[in-house]
Amino acid sequence: MSDPGTAAQDVVGVFDEGFNQLFVLARPLRVLIRDGSKLMKHPIETGGTIADHRVFEPIGAELHLILDPDEYQNTFQEIKTAHKDNKKLTVQTRVDTYANMVILEVPHDETGDILDTVAVGLKLEEAIFVDPQYAQLPPEKVAKKSNSSTAKTGQKQAAPATGKQNSAAFDLVFGNGK
C-alpha cells in the first residue's frame, strides 16, 4: 500500500493551490459533501410564514481516510501541517471539484481493529478570505466634523460623564436620582 504511484487511481483527491496532490499515502474510504442553503423565512400577521430569498452555506466535506501502515506518522504530520498552516485546498470527487477548502478538524481513530495504521476523518469547509481595504474619507463626507481627522489632534483624555450623559441601564437599575 505504500506505492505513491497508486495515487492517480484515487477516487477522491486533495490538492494544494498548485494542484499538487497531498496526502498521497492516505486512502480515501468515503467523502460526504454538504452543499446546502438556508431559506430566509418571516412570520406574517395571519400566522403563516413567507420566504423571500435563500442564503447559500459554505460547502463542507467530511473525508474519511485510512493511512498507509508504513508511513502513517509522516502522513498524519502532513495533514496536521496543512491544518495549522490554514492551507487552501481543493477536494476533487467523482462528480465535482470543491476549491477554497480549509481543514477545520483532524479527528483520528486509533483502535485495535486496525493495529498497524490510523483512520482519520478530515472535516473541511469552504472559506473565501478577503483582504480589507481602507481609504481616506474626505472631511465633507463625515457627519460630525470633529470626527473627520485625528491626525493632528494628539492624545486626548476622556471627560467624566455629566448627569445627562449617564447610562440608561444604570438609571434602570439604580434609579435616576428623581
pLDDT of residue 87: 93
Backbone phi, psi, residue 171, to 5°: -65, -40
CA–CA separation, 54 and 8 (whole Å) = 38
pLDDT on residue 150: 59
The predicted structure's pLDDT at residue 8: 47
Q: Please check whether residue 19 is in contact with residue 90, taking contact to mean a CB–CB distance below 8 angstroms.
A: yes
What pLDDT is attached to residue 153?
A: 61
C-alpha cell at 147: 470626527
Going along the chain from its start, the domains and CATH numbers come out as: 4-126 (2.40.30.200)
Q: How many CB atoms lie within 10 A of CB 101?
A: 23
- Provide the pLDDT for residue 114: 80
pLDDT of residue 147: 67
3-state secondary structure the chain: CCCHHHHHHCCCEEECCCCCEECCCEEEEEEEEECCEEEEEEECCCCCEEEEEEEECCCEEEEEEEECCCCHHHHHHHHHHHHHCCCCEEEECCCCEEEEEEEEECCEECCHHHCCCCEEEEEEEECCCCCCCCCCCCHHHCCCHHHCCCCCCCCCCCCCCCHHHCCHHHHHHHCCCC
Q: What pLDDT is stored for residue 1 in this prediction?
A: 47
Give the count of beta carbons closer than 10 Å to the beta carbon of residue 51: 10
> Cell digits for 24?
498521497
As a whole number of Å, the CA-based R_g of the chain is 27
pLDDT per residue of the chain (178 residues) written in tens, 0 to 9: 445 544 446 689 999 999 999 999 999 999 999 999 999 999 999 999 999 999 999 999 999 999 999 999 999 999 999 999 999 999 999 999 999 999 999 999 888 888 789 999 999 999 988 888 887 767 777 777 766 665 666 666 777 766 655 666 767 777 765 5
Q: What is the pLDDT of residue 164?
A: 58
Please tell me the predicted confidence (pLDDT) of residue 85: 95
